[in-house]
Amino acid sequence: MSGNLRWQDFILPVVAISIAVGYTVHMLNNLGWMEANFISLDYILTRLRTHLYLVSVSVGLAILTALPLGVLLTRPKFRKITPLVVGIVNLGQTIPSFAVIALFVGILGIGARTAIFALWAYSLLPILNNTIAGVNGVDKSIIDAARGMGMTKAHTLIKIELPLSIPVIMAGIRTAVVINAGTAIIASYVGAGGLGDIIVTGMNINSTQTLLLGAGYATIVALLLDHFLGLIERQMPR
C-alpha cells in the first residue's frame, strides 16, 4: 500500500528552505564591498538552477544505463559476467572525483557535458548494485507461481520482479542523487557552473560567508532531493 502524506513530511523542507532563504537575505543585506562585486540574488539562483540541471541529467542518464544493465545481469545467461561488469563500473567510485573529471576533460573538453559524464560515472554503481540486489531478492516461490499461471519470462519480469524490486532500486537512486548533489560542486572547475562557483568565489575573495552559502546550498539540495525521493518511494504501490 502507498503511504499518505503527513504534516511531518513537510517539516524538513520548510526548515531547510527557511534557513536557506534567511541566510541568503541576511548575507545580501550585509555584503562587503568585495563580495558585492560578485554575489547577487540572480548569481545565486543561476548557480542553483545549473547545479540541479547537472544532477538531474547525470542521474537520469545513470538510471537509463544502470537499470537495464542491472536487469540484464540478473538473467541466467549473463550472471557469470556480473562480477566483471560490476568491477568495471566500480572504477567510477574508486577513482577520485577530480581524476574522473580530469579524464573526461581530456576527452570532451571543458563545459557542462564533461561534468555530466563524470557525474554519470559516479552515479552508476549504487543504481546498478541495488537493481541487481532488488531483482535477485525477489522470492523464487513467487516467480515460480507466476510461471505456473502461464506468465512468460518477460511478463514475470515486468509484472512481478520489477515492481517488487522498486524499494531497493529507489534506495540506489536516492544514494546516487545524494552523491551527485555533493560531487557536482567540482563541475565549477571545468567551467560547468553550479554551486561550486559560489564556493570558488568565496575562496578567491577570502569570504567565509560566501563559502558557507555555497556549501550550505549544496547540503540543503542533497537533503531535499533525498527527502522528496523518499516521499515518492512511499507513494508507490507495493
pLDDT one-digit tens code per residue, 33-91: 888 888 899 999 999 999 999 999 999 999 999 999 999 999 988 889 999 998 888 87
More confident position, 201 or 238: 201
91-112 pLDDT per residue, tens: 777 777 777 787 778 788 888 8
**Per-residue pLDDT at 3:** 63
Q: How many CA atoms lie within 13 A of 200 on its CB side?
A: 14
C-alpha cell at 180: 551527485
**Residue 126 CB neighbour total at 10 angstroms:** 22
SS3 content of the chain, % helix, strand, coil (to 5): 85, 0, 15
Q: How many residues does the chain have?
A: 238
**Residue 10 CA, distance from chain mean position:** 21
Average pLDDT, the chain: 88
Q: What is the pTM of this model?
A: 0.88
Fold of the CATH domain 7-27+38-235 = MetI-like fold (1.10.3720)
